[in-house]
A = this chain, B = another copy of it.
Amino acid sequence: MTTTPIRTLSASLDTGRSLLEPALRDTVGSRLNPEMRRIAQYHLGWADADGRPTGSWGGKLVRPTLSLLSARAAGGIAADGIAAAVAIELVHNFSLLHDDIMDGDATRRGRATAWTVFGVPHAILAGDAMVTAATSALLDAPHPGARAATASLMTATQRMISGQASDVAFERREDVPLAECVRMAGDKTGALLGCACSLGAELVGAEPVLVDRLAAFGEHIGLAFQLIDDLLGIWGDPERTGKQVGADLRVRKKSLPVVAALNADRTEELRALYLRAEPLTEAEVHRVADLVERAGGRDWARQEADRQLAAAERCLAEAGLADAPHAEFLEIGGFIVGRRF
């Protein structure tokens, strides 16, 4: 999600990994058939294409770490949130697996994507197997909120799929209202992050208001992340690597700052460049970035990110957590968006 190294997270959060890694390995090992397991293990980074252990781990496990914290925030221990954490991580990776096929992306996390290694049919099936395993793992948890938590996970998953579908559809549309683009980002990025922040609490049977406030915190963080990520996709950031300046413009992405600009007044030149069929030259990419900025897209996205972060803080305060989990939520939230609260 961000390129900030994992070591910036405090040690207490990092210890979640010692719970998460064996639980994820166990779920993938026991619920997936050998072919699906091999693809999942490769995609998750534990194994190479032949199934040999890599000795490393793919993702940063931010979402499942939030789920463990969520269980603690509701008065449980981290281990109570394991089923929620495993389910969230599998749903997240199901979406990455299918997204890579849909986008035709050849690399992820510096490795060949699963569909390029195992073929499209098996990669589709492995995604299907992972979301199914996620649902089973959560539903089988012995905790009082297992049924409610699974229902929430499915609602978030449906929103994530809906957001992804809108994102794909936007590519072919000339006119995307800004509110629709914000909703898409909330669905695509916010819903699962909100679920990650609340699912552990819901699993251990927390009061609905606590579950709701934690979900709202995560959703606002997700939107802030998307806004900041979209800003980096146009203007980059010398302090962060990963995103090339102008990357999102070259592929004519309908990202939030661009849609904000396209919906402003007097954007004839921007529309003519951005909505035409022919590729943009390097000079035109810079011209588009300039036009988006002049139309107010950059300022709007920055201010909207600030508003989302302020809303996240408010929601977290309303959750009324003890000091330690409150501080840890803020720390992980800041880690996700790449700035301190």
> A residues bordering B, Cβ < 8 Å?
31-33, 35-36, 94, 98, 101-103, 120-122, 124-129, 131-133, 135-136, 139-140, 146-147, 150-151, 154-155, 157-158, 161-162, 164-166, 168-169
- Report the copy number of this chain in the oligomer: 2
Which of B32, B128, B136, B151 is A131 in contact with, Cβ under 8 Å?
B128
Interchain CB contact (< 8 A) of A36 among B131, B155, B165: B165
Residues of B within 8 A of A129 (CB): 158, 161-162, 165
Choose from B120, B121, B132 the contact partner of A158 (Cβ within 8 Å).
B132
Whether B102 contacts A121 by the Cβ 8 Å rule is yes
Of B36, B150, B166, the contact of A150 (CB 8 Å cutoff) = B150
Are B102's CB and A168's CB within 8 A? no
Interface of chain A, main secondary structure = helix
Instruction: State A124–B121 Cα separation when bound (angstroms).
Output: 11
In addition to A36-B161, A146-B147, 17 A-B residue pairs with Cβ atoms within 8 Å of each other are A32-B162, A33-B161, A36-B165, A101-B120, A101-B121, A122-B165, A124-B124, A128-B128, A128-B161, A129-B165, A131-B131, A132-B158, A135-B135, A136-B155, A136-B158, A139-B150, A140-B151
Q: Contact: B135 with A154, CB < 8 Å?
A: yes
Q: Which residue of B lies closest to A155 (CB)?
A: B136
* Partner pick for A151 among B136, B154, B157, B162, CB 8 A cutoff: B136
Question: Contact: A102 with B120, CB < 8 Å?
Answer: yes
Asked if B132 contacts A154 (CB within 8 A), the reply is: yes
Q: Is the CB of A169 within 8 A of B35?
A: yes
Kindly list chain B residues whose C-beta atoms are within 8 Å of the C-beta of A146. Answer: 147
A243 vs B162: C-alpha distance when bound (angstroms): 37
Enumerate chain B residues within 8 angstroms of A135, measured Cβ to Cβ.
135, 150, 154
